[in-house]
Every structure is written in structure tokens, then in C-alpha cells.
Amino acid sequence: MELDSSTTSNGYLLLLKGLSLIPISHYAFAFITLIIFLLISIIYNSLEIHFFQDLFSGFSGSPVQFSYNSSSQIYHAVVSNCRILQGNYSVTPWLSSPHLQTIFLNFFGNPPTVKYKRQLFTTSDGGTLALDWVTSSDVSDDESTPIVVLIPGLTSDSSSPYLKHLAYHTAKRGWKVVVSNHRGFGGVPITSDCFYNSGWTEDTRTVVNYLHKENPRAPLFIVGTSIGANILVKYLGEDGENTPVAGAVAVCSPWDLLIGDRYINRAPMQKLYNKALAGGQRDYAKLHQPQFSRLANWEGIEKSLSVREFDEHATCMVGKYETVDTYYRRCSSSTYVQSVSVPLLCISALDDPVCTTEAIPWDECKANKNIVLATVKHGGHLAFFEGITASSLWWVRATNEFLSVLHSSHYMHEQKKISTPNTLLDSSIDQGPYVNVTEDGMVAALNNEPTTDNQKKYR
């Protein structure tokens, strides 16, 4: 071995020689370990996993944050008496990520078994809605038993796991529960040229007025989820005092569709949700291909890889909106928040990967004393799994407790009796519902009560 004059380089040489004596397999092992470690950290971060944070806090969860007007009786007399809302929400440890929760909900969901009895409802324009009533021995058949109407999300119906969770637990309290499926969902055909969209409140209005007419003594509650929450809040804002709804809950609403659209087109994870949602929309369109081919751009629909593309080729053409942004602006519920006149609890997760917190109308909620906004640090989109077996959803329990406390309080909303019999509104009720398409393409829906021969009961 040739010795160098410098001891330093001699040292390096010795080191190299030593390193060369280590078998190559050990290097390979170290390299693979490093790669695995890097991959795990990338996955941990991109899935926003918070397992270790939860572990260090002993899985005690996080408290609910409330936004409300300081003079809000709905907060002081109702929400402050709700044990679940006043406690912490702690995530199922093996689902401690908004993405894992949301994905688990959509692929498995652990739904309870729910049986429905279907009532087909025909609207005045010839549209068909499937009203799915929960059949359960727990449901009391008293005329003053509350009725809870559920409005599903974008491409959901009564068979969606999260609606089964809600339907099952609400019926277990003895209340009547009905899922008001959107047009074209739940296996029913589209029978009119009016389709539902994210701001289509007319079907909710029609169903609510029909149910109130048939059950005048039953308090009527509505729970809207995701796009269903947007439709619910928009409907409540449009009708103000003039609704028989006694109280409502909006869960994981997108609030502002324009902000929501920008958000799901931005980050890589959000783009995946966007693709998945567009896939659901295309599947729905395929079920009704003849109608979509006739009224929209079928080739465009088939190629749609985002919600925005689908809305461009389908929703805007059918609903006669000039542009997609116009559709999003007009159908966002955030601008209707100020006019809501019934007790409304809004639940959102701050880590919702689909409906961003950026769109939450904090100020408007605080300005309206009928509204309490409850935000939770974790929960994902409509998930909020809890318990080690992930068998229950926190928002379902929170919603049911809120409605029960509201029901036993003095704060349920009551529709003001219309005293003057010859107003335009009254006469339109007498004539039955119709839809007015105005020049700017916006569908102005007027009135309400369907005539009795419009309803057919099946099964």
C-alpha cells in the first residue's frame, strides 16, 4: 500500500477502504430504508395525516368553534344545551386524515341497514322525484311526530352511506325521515326538461310545502348535505319567513361555488376529487343519455374530466346559464345567508378536502341571529368518523341532538299566516306551481303547492 505524505488524505483513503469492505447488500438495505422513509413522510404530509398529533394529545380530540351573533337565542338557548356540540370531536385513530376519512366514507362507510318505502312525486312541470321514507318500527305514527327531510349531495341518493347513517339514527329517535332524492336519482327517469342543479331550490320548496299541507301539525326539519346544504340555505334565504320549516342543519356546504371551483382545480389532491366528482356526474348523465343528448352537448359530457367541464357541457346548457361562472355565482348560497329566517345550524370541517373553508361566509353567519356556524378542526367531507370501529359519524349525532333540543325549545320557526287572501303569492298557490324562465336564462320558480292529483303513491 502506497502511503501519501499528507495524513489527511491518508485518513480519507483508509475510510474509503473501510467503506469498500462493507458488503453491497448493506448499502442497498440502507438505501431502500431511506426511500421508504421518504415515501412515508411524503404520504403522511400529502394525506394530511395527524395521527402523531392525536397520539400526543391522548386522542382527546378538538373542541367545536362557534360563530354566531352575540344576541343569538339559537346559540344561547339551544346550541349551548347540546352536549355533543359543546364537547370534543375525536377522530377514529386509523382514519386520522381528512382524505382517509372521505375516501373511507365513499368506498365503505360502515352504513347501518336502512329500509325505505318509496313515494313517487310528480312536480307541476312533469318532473319525477323519489321520496324515500324510512320504514322502521321505531318511527312513531303520531300526527305531531316531527318529519326530517334529507337533501343529498351532488351525485348521492338515499343509498349513499352517509345518508343511511343519518336516516337510521334520526328514525331511531322515533321521528319520520324522508330522503328527497334529486331528479334523475334513486333510479327514477328524468321526465321533464327541468333538471336539478346546485341552486335548484324549487323541488325542495315543493316537497316542503306538500309535506306541510299533508302533515300540518308535524314540525318539519330539513338537513342538507354538501350540495344539498347549498340548496337548503339558498332555499331558506329565498323564502325568508315564508316557509313552514321549523329548523334546519346544513352539513359541509360548499357555500360559494366559484371559490369551490377554483379550489378543486388547484392542488393535486383536490384535482383527484374533482375527477372523481366529474366521474359521478358522467355516470348520472349516462343513465339519462337521451335527455342529455337532446338538451346538452353529449360529446363534451363524455369527455368531461372536471366538474367545471361537466357544468359547461351539461348543467349550463340545460339550465340556460351563459357561462359556468355565471351559474356558480347565481347558485351560491353564501349570498342568501342574510335572509335565512329559521334556526339553522351549519357544520363544517376545517380540513374538508372538497368544500374549502375559504368559502365559509363567517361574517354573514355572525350577522344573522338565526344561524350558528359550528366548525371543527378535523372531519373531512361529510365523514367525522368516530370510535375505534368507525361505526358512527359525529355530525349525525350532533345534528340529531340539535334538532331534539330545538324541538323541545320555544325557538322553532313558525310560518307566518298569510292574512290578505288576494296577494299574488296566494293566487299562485291556488293555481298550482309553474316555472317561469326569464330572459336572462335564470329559472324563476314560482309557487309551490302541487295539486293533489300530481301525487301518486307506489308500493
Helix H or strand E segment including 404: helix 394-407
Residue 27 CB partners (closer than 8 Å, separation 6+): none
**Residue (163 or 376) nearer to ligand NAG, CB:** 376
**Alpha carbons 202 and 2: distance in angstroms, whole number:** 92
Q: Among 13, 44, 66, 69, which residue sits at the site for ligand NAG (rule: CB under 6 A)?
A: 69
Q: Is the dihedral of CA 90, 91, 94, 96 positive or negative?
A: negative
Q: Among 88, 122, 145, 297, which residue sits at the site for ligand NAG (rule: CB under 6 A)?
A: 88
Other C-beta atoms closer than 10 Å to the C-beta of 352 total 27
Which of 79, 92, 99, 208 shows the shortest CA–CA distance to 147? 208
Q: CB-side exposure of 349: number of CA atoms within 13 Å?
A: 27
Task: Give strand pairing partners of 456.
Answer: 120
Applying CB under 6 A, the site for ligand NAG has a residue count of 15
If one asks whether residue 60 binds ligand NAG (CB under 6 A), the answer comes out as: yes
Query: Which range binds ligand NAG by CB under 6 A, 13-21, 166-174, 278-286, 362-370?
Result: 362-370
Which of 136, 214, 146 shows the shortest CA–CA distance to 175? 146
Helix H or strand E segment including 148: strand 147-151
Sort strands 116-122 and 147-151 into parallel, antiparallel or unpaired: unpaired
Collect contacts of 34-38 with beta carbons under 8 A, ≥24 apart: none
Q: Among 62, 170, 226, 281, which residue sits at the site for ligand NAG (rule: CB under 6 A)?
A: 62
If one asks whether residue 63 binds ligand NAG (CB under 6 A), the answer comes out as: yes
| Beta strand extents in 176-290 (DSSP E only) | 176-180, 220-225, 245-251
Binding pattern for the stretch 439-458 against ligand NAG, x by CB under 6 A and - elsewhere: x------x------------
Query: Which range binds ligand NAG by CB under 6 A, 199-207, 223-231, 366-374, 451-459?
Result: 366-374
**Alpha carbons 379 and 395: distance in angstroms, whole number:** 9
**Residue (132 or 401) nearer to ligand NAG, CB:** 401
**Residue (223 or 372) nearer to ligand NAG, CB:** 372
**Residue (6 or 57) nearer to ligand NAG, CB:** 57
Query: Which range binds ligand NAG by CB under 6 A, 58-66, 75-83, 120-128, 346-354?
Result: 58-66
Helix, strand, coil abundance in the chain, percent, nearest 5: 45, 15, 40
If one asks whether residue 369 binds ligand NAG (CB under 6 A), the answer comes out as: yes
Binding pattern for the stretch 187-226 against ligand NAG, x by CB under 6 A and - elsewhere: ----------------------------------------
Binders in 413-442 for ligand NAG, by CB under 6 A = 436, 438-439
**Residue (61 or 380) nearer to ligand NAG, CB:** 61
**Residue (64 or 148) nearer to ligand NAG, CB:** 64
DSSP assignment of 19-44, as one string?
HHHS-HHHHHHHHHHHHHHHHHHHHH
| Least spacing, CB of residue 204 vs ligand NAG, in Å | 20
If one asks whether residue 367 binds ligand NAG (CB under 6 A), the answer comes out as: yes
If one asks whether residue 61 binds ligand NAG (CB under 6 A), the answer comes out as: yes
**Residue (4 or 363) nearer to ligand NAG, CB:** 363
If one asks whether residue 25 binds ligand NAG (CB under 6 A), the answer comes out as: no
| Least spacing, CB of residue 51 vs ligand NAG, in Å | 15
Under 8 Å between Cβ of 93 and 390: no
Sort strands 220-225 and 147-151 into parallel, antiparallel or unpaired: parallel
**Residue (33 or 57) nearer to ligand NAG, CB:** 57
| Least spacing, CB of residue 86 vs ligand NAG, in Å | 10
If one asks whether residue 339 binds ligand NAG (CB under 6 A), the answer comes out as: no
| Least spacing, CB of residue 407 vs ligand NAG, in Å | 24
If one asks whether residue 361 binds ligand NAG (CB under 6 A), the answer comes out as: no
Under 8 Å between Cβ of 245 and 215: no
**Residue (291 or 368) nearer to ligand NAG, CB:** 368
Under 8 Å between Cβ of 182 and 287: no
Helix H or strand E segment including 88: strand 88-89
Under 8 Å between Cβ of 376 and 363: no
Give the SS3 label for residue 122.
Answer: strand
Query: Which range binds ligand NAG by CB under 6 A, 23-31, 57-65, 114-122, 198-206?
Result: 57-65
Q: Among 275, 288, 329, 366, which residue sits at the site for ligand NAG (rule: CB under 6 A)?
A: 366
If one asks whether residue 57 binds ligand NAG (CB under 6 A), the answer comes out as: yes
Give the SS3 label for residue 118.
Answer: strand
Which residues of the chain form contacts with ligand NAG (CB under 6 A)?
57, 60-63, 69, 71, 88, 366-367, 369, 436, 438-439, 446
